[in-house]
């Protein structure tokens, strides 16, 4: 999500979590007003790249997992797959890739 990516980028630049307004997203588990301090401190030395994943890619990832894999995964749990589906990681093309799919806390009206 652009707003989350912006928050993380701003926090990394500021050297501390930065507060922002809430946003609505299919990845509602990532729609927090502030990157948590523990998450920030853990991620800060490990983050090499921040990308933006579209709502469309998140929705398509949820749909493909239901249709093909018969798995229900919440929006926040499919953002890695969404980045791959959306072509946001061209450096991984042709390579074996593993992404984490997690969480089933999804509003049934979203499906």
- For residue 65, the model assigns a pLDDT of 96
Run of H or E residues at 84: helix 79-85
* 54-88: pLDDT as tens digits: 999 999 999 999 999 999 999 999 999 999 999 99
| Alpha-carbon gap, residue 55 to 110, rounded angstroms | 12
The token pair at 106 is 């999804």
Mean pLDDT, rounded, of the chain:
86
| Alpha-carbon gap, residue 11 to 111, rounded angstroms | 33
Say which residue the tokens 């894999």 belong to: 69
Count CB neighbours of 105 within 10 A: 13
Four-residue CA torsion sign, 31, 36, 42, 43: positive
> pTM here?
0.81
DSSP letter at 19 equals: B
Q: How confident is the model over 11-39, as a mean pLDDT? A: 81
What are 19's strand-pairing partners? 34
Question: In this predicted model, which residue has the larger pLDDT, 13 or 68?
Answer: 68
């Amino acid at each position: 999500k652009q707003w989350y990516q912006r928050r993380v980028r701003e926090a990394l630049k500021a050297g501390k979590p930065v507060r922002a307004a809430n946003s609505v997203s299919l990845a509602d588990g990532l729609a927090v007003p502030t990157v948590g301090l523990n998450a920030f401190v853990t991620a800060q030395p490990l983050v090499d790249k921040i990308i933006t994943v579209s709502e469309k890619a998140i929705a398509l990832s949820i749909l493909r997992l239901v249709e093909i894999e018969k798995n229900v995964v919440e929006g926040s749990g499919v953002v890695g797959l969404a980045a791959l589906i959306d072509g946001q990681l061209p450096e991984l093309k042709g390579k074996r890739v593993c992404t984490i799919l997690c969480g089933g806390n999804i509003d049934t009206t979203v499906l």
